[in-house]
Amino acid sequence: MHFFDVGRRFYGGYAIVAGGLPIATGLALAERMQGRAGVVACFFGDGAVDEGEFSESLNLAALWKLPVVFVCENNLYAMGTALARHQAQTDLRRKAEAHGMPAETVDGMDVLAVEAAMRHAVDTVRGTGSPCFLEARTYRYRAHSMSDPELYRTKDEVEQWRARDPIATFVVRLQEQGLLTDADLAA
């Protein structure tokens, strides 16, 4: 199922792995051709970097200097294969750098770090008119799908990552800074 809200320029998500990359590139081209100052944000998982659309989209965006931020949510396992088993280069930002675009890696488990990195990426695109890439290193706690037997990682590993849950750690930070009370949280 796709959700589109053209009035707000939200063009939805796509079930096809890497399917949103060429669409985002086209939307960025439309921004440029129509003389608008918008920045397109394209979100995808680490499994998408295996697909030809990834390289094709980054190449065209860099070549044509399109206003798009490519955000890779790297959860280390694609569907169920560890990153090192499907990528010779596991530092995914380097793949974007190979296309001549600025690239950054951020701790995807830190809400404030992600916000700051995304703000920087958007400012970079607005300042240069060219694309950039943001790799958010994160984790998923559940299987990829109902048919995933989840034999590729240990319960211990999942629990270690759970201890860094971005929502829970953000709540603690807000409480420590006096910005969120127990009553606020309960409400």
The answer to whether residue 140 is catalytic is: yes
Number of H helices, E strands in the chain: 8, 4
Coil vs helix vs strand at 74? strand
The answer to whether residue 144 is catalytic is: yes
The answer to whether residue 2 is catalytic is: no
Residue among 144, 153, 164, 173 flagged as catalytic: 144
Please name the residues in contact with 167: beta carbons below 8 A apart, sequence gap of 6 or more: 111
Phi, psi dihedral angles at 118 (to 5 degrees): -70, -40
Amino acid (one-letter) located at 49: V
Alpha-carbon distance of 23 to 10, in angstroms, equals 12
Residue among 94, 126, 140, 162 flagged as catalytic: 140
Residue among 86, 120, 152, 153 flagged as catalytic: 152
- What is the set of active-site residues? 140, 144, 152
